Structure 1
């Protein structure tokens, strides 16, 4: 039976659900550079208002009442759990200090990882910290950890409910006991070589909804055993008024791998380094003596010190990137020597071990890695075991050449190899645990290029089971991101595998805003050129329909986070192209992004309403502002996490409200509200439920037979 024959029963399930909460329109008119813009749902931005809280609660309850009745939803969760059990143990975040290894380990029966240590690769494993046992009344997970240089102390950052806002503790490794102090709203740290102090940059608040949590932050120094409230401010707008630090820039301190240089970074979403250098011996001074290392105009994406040289990954005048080298003591990007010139492949990153520099390059989809020995000035290729994505993890860069090479592809689960850059030998790592998943051998990977609205050729990756009938009847799940220059490189996940094994086509778009074709590709989906991002996505959908991979009644579109701009504008521009859409923790109200806690730091990527040109670009990106009354929109599920510090819940919430009031298609628009989640979470049980909800809703609306009500269910729903 063709899926299209099941379409008349698509909406019967909602008949037995509770009533969709209504959302009143309360117009607020803003004028931006002469343009009047009406916001009917501004009142939803007050997350402390009882009325707003009640609205989100009612929307979430209604959504759950619908999702709970979708056939196949619970079976999806069971499939995720079953696939997870096929890998008996998972290791990640592996660090080495001397001969002591630190790492996270998760068993299939565990929701979150535990922290372990062992002496040497074959030494007995010891449990260092279990976040669940630490407080069984809370849902803690380890957001990060950092061992001291001698491996005798380790910082452990605990977060709750996927909030990404952590409390930092210091543990004595030998006794597994905590020091008395704790530091709130802190996570990542950089230890000093004395093993008794570290630098860190805390948020201003533990509240993810605090609009000032990420402004005027301060990099501090903490000495073990002292009161955190007395930690000195080393690097900030207040402490360094001559450096031109903006309120939204995040000051971060860290040392070179050999501890001889102190770097200060003013972090934002701008990939270009805004960086300074100082002597670590000046840490005892009231004010550090900073020298400029790289300004944003130098277009240095990253840098690292190796011996007496500083290596720079730069894109200045080279859209595909180049590697420069300069004196580490007195770096100057403008006079640096070109070590690796721009070539056909995109340079995407650099790392180092004790003696070697490694450069990752990409052909738009697949990675290559080259290594460089500064002592001999010799280059060599790292021979990868498969095509796909690859990255090197340095375990103890200042003292060791020990490395782990990780590789994955659309069909290959992530595999760890121990890599020795001296001998170039590659062997399976002791931390690699193979797993065999059903259906993988039956998958086909097809890489094509699709003409967009302006003739640009957009890469599109297709994964599907052998024997696909190109008659338009298959459900297709198409995803895109297109922001910050992030490329959609191949990866393996059991979540889409569950859909692939049900005959669903997975389509990964490589749209402008990513860097698949270099920096020009990124800048062609950025600020004023952002419309290319969703127009490329639409072009990919049209290609899939025109070539009969799928049809508009079976096409699903999904965008996550900044991808909310993509999916929101795709369905408001071409509502007829999609059966269903998912805005997962999506930015759907770009014009108001700066009024959210994480908004100001994102202005380098999307723009600011304070600039007339950028303001109009933000209006064009704003999906909520492009919802038109009386339009037949596809079925939509918006997802928000109440603990999300990146995209505040009212962003997808306002979009859902606008669609519910405007759409005349009769198709459901749901607002899923996660109270135990943030932007994402490590908790597998929450993750599996969240993705099963999104996937089941979309597959139901796209007519997949495993997610349709039976004739009996449809008849019973109609009687109620």
Structure 2
């Protein structure tokens, strides 16, 4: 503890000097300036001039040259941090068990295991027949498959019911366009055909010969077509089974846990629709379960002679569980099983032979509810912490009384637990190992506090820090948030984060509106024409941690990625004085222009999240918060902006344009870096260790601003 306090004091002593040195470097190393090529954009009689629109020309050598110059500037300005970045990388890597393996799960006669070997970046997929003592069968060694590729991702592993075939998808570009192939698990032969431009996922019919898969639109990358392929057929003869023509929807296909039905789903932000087919009759016609009805959301699970439906029908904002007979799937036949509750969000269900398991969320915390099918003696699993995350895990086996779930908190490593629903006995199968011999969860304090937003709403903040920290306003604090798409940012453990905590940082997650942390209304209050609540919530959380003297403006940092990067762009326009530094990862910052371009991947499917700017009301509202459109001549915080050239979710040119405009508009000498991974996409580098190098860059940026050099 004494050592930790000493480190904190040293941080404060050197922070000012570190910033001064960087300012001097800025005066001697000139940042690149993007060429100004004005383009006039007009909509609803409103005219915008975009000086950097040309940066969206991905194949233009001038664009690549500019991105390379930004990278060179970043590398020159941080040259003194390179050794520290390497040290951080080795430190974080040193906490990871390199020769690790997953907890085996049992499915259709086999135990499936994912393992890693020391010194290798990629997973190895194996299985064992009948017993964990059986001989290991190698499915895929991704280390071998990744050779020769700067990026590699294997996904969508899908094994036929006869255990003979495995379909898999490979992405070597990082635009989430996978090529599907099939491997014979008896001969280990990979069949010669390749199916290009897919989601990577696929589903076997019950005949073990028909493979259904989803193709993407080559321009927008929307998942819009379901095909079926016969193993002995030509890919060019594959049959189009379903075409989702509405460009605000995406489609997908899967097989029910009961194995009786194939299911095609179509979904937009607010509406869903499903079609079903007997899995043993793959050449039959899919039948609509319940036709799409605007703002009716539902998901389906089959068991016995019934369907179980999680839905918001009848204005069930937080969702409820309904049932219907197999042959009567229209909503007029649906009956309540678990009614809607105002204060409890029903998130998901898992069906077993003797039990129904329900994942819920109350007061921002996960709960797992166990319900025997006769409805008698139901109960909740006990969780005692107030900053934990728990969730139903991989449970492919139907005929078992064991439910597998995961548990972790901000100071407690992730655990995989088997729970006997009859005897209520709990078995911890694995707890995430933290190597190095220095970690003890008792050295850290977890808190959940509540900030008050400008409109009186209470917003929870989860935080973790080393014991002994004094609330004197001098602690560096990193505040993270996302706040979109109803995605909840639950408190989670990170061994990587220890590199900040052990150097005196407080790490906090702001559970702002736009996520679903406190129920569906929490999401509804942070989207469309209420989107600004997301930004003001974050600002109010920032003011709270300052007012409560966890930190101060001189030591508060903010971080967010993708839609969370939009958040970063908005809050630095609104309240730049609150933050000493900001990390914006793959930030969505040019909202109006992107949402007006329906050729960009994902745009049309986003209208229910952000609004359609072809409608003037949404156009005006978007423009009022779009980070790129609201840059002004003010002193912005020190900033590190990251992106990937092949990003399919947020195109690289958004952060590139944003940085280019900030360079010529902002006042003061605070740092502004753009770091573009020229070989990766939205998720950054592939491989478990390569990704750590990107984290090391981010952490060294923060620590350098605090004057922490080691």
TM-score, with structure 2 as normaliser: 0.91
Provide the secondary structure at the position in 2 that maps to 1:652. helix
CA gap 1:491/1:526 in 2 versus in 1, 3 angstroms:
same
Structure 1 CA distance for aligned equivalents of residues 408 and 133 of structure 2: 25
Tell me how many residue pairs correspond in the alignment.
Answer: 685
Describe how 1:233-632 pairs up with structure 2 within 5 A: 233-237=240-244, 245-268=245-268, 270=269, 272-280=271-279, 283-284=282-283, 288-293=285-290, 295-297=292-294, 299-316=296-313, 317-343=315-341, 344-374=343-373, 376-378=374-376, 380-384=378-382, 387=385, 388-397=388-397, 403-429=403-429, 434-435=433-434, 438-594=439-595, 595=597, 596-628=600-632, 630-632=633-635
Residue 172 of structure 1 pairs with residue 157 of structure 2: no
CA gap 1:613/1:138 in 2 versus in 1, 3 angstroms:
same
Partner of 1:155: 167
- Superposed CA deviations along residues 434-459 of structure 1, whole A, max 9, x for unmatched, are 54661532111111110111111111
Partner of 1:240: none
| Stretch moving more, 383-392 or 570-579 | 383-392
CA shift, 1:144, in A, is: 2.9
CA gap 1:121/1:389 in 2 versus in 1, 3 angstroms:
farther
Residue 699 of structure 1 pairs with residue 703 of structure 2: yes
Provide the secondary structure at the position in 2 that maps to 1:146. strand
Paired residues of 1:555 and 1:577 also in contact (CA < 8 A): yes
- Superposed CA deviations along residues 165-218 of structure 1, whole A, max 9, x for unmatched, are 22222112233221222222220111111112221102244xxxxx33327x21
Partner of 1:106: 116
Structure 2 CA distance for aligned equivalents of residues 643 and 453 of structure 1: 39
CA RMSD, 1 decimal: 2.4
Partner of 1:664: 667
| Stretch moving more, 608-617 or 119-128 | 119-128
Provide the secondary structure at the position in 2 that maps to 1:179. coil
CA gap 1:354/1:194 in 2 versus in 1, 3 angstroms:
farther
Structure 2 CA distance for aligned equivalents of residues 155 and 66 of structure 1: 46
CA gap 1:382/1:100 in 2 versus in 1, 3 angstroms:
farther
CA shift, 1:152, in A, is: 1.9
CA gap 1:161/1:397 in 2 versus in 1, 3 angstroms:
same
- Superposed CA deviations along residues 192-245 of structure 1, whole A, max 9, x for unmatched, are 11112221102244xxxxx33327x210011223222221100104xxxxxxx4
Paired residues of 2:270 and 2:295 also in contact (CA < 8 A): no
CA gap 1:627/1:54 in 2 versus in 1, 3 angstroms:
same
CA gap 1:530/1:360 in 2 versus in 1, 3 angstroms:
same
Paired residues of 1:263 and 1:277 also in contact (CA < 8 A): yes
Partner of 2:5: none
Structure 2 CA distance for aligned equivalents of residues 531 and 664 of structure 1: 25
CA shift, 1:91, in A, is: 1.6
Partner of 2:214: 201
Unaligned runs of 5+ in 2: 1-8
CA gap 1:384/1:641 in 2 versus in 1, 3 angstroms:
farther
Partner of 1:19: 30
Provide the secondary structure at the position in 2 that maps to 1:684. coil
CA shift, 1:355, in A, is: 4.4
Partner of 2:128: 118
- Superposed CA deviations along residues 457-502 of structure 1, whole A, max 9, x for unmatched, are 1111121111111111111000010011111112111222221111
Provide the secondary structure at the position in 2 that maps to 1:185. strand
Structure 1 CA distance for aligned equivalents of residues 204 and 175 of structure 2: 24
Unaligned runs of 5+ in 1: 206-210, 238-244, 708-720
- Superposed CA deviations along residues 511-558 of structure 1, whole A, max 9, x for unmatched, are 000112211110110011000101100001111111111111111111
Structure 1 CA distance for aligned equivalents of residues 95 and 607 of structure 2: 40
Structure 1 CA distance for aligned equivalents of residues 662 and 450 of structure 2: 32
Structure 2 CA distance for aligned equivalents of residues 197 and 30 of structure 1: 49
Provide the secondary structure at the position in 2 that maps to 1:213. coil
Structure 2 CA distance for aligned equivalents of residues 199 and 399 of structure 1: 26
| Stretch moving more, 458-467 or 32-41 | 32-41
Partner of 2:70: 59
CA shift, 1:158, in A, is: 1.8
Partner of 1:718: none
Structure 1 CA distance for aligned equivalents of residues 474 and 225 of structure 2: 56
| Stretch moving more, 581-590 or 116-125 | 116-125
For residue 636 of structure 2, the aligned residue among 633, 640, 646 is 633
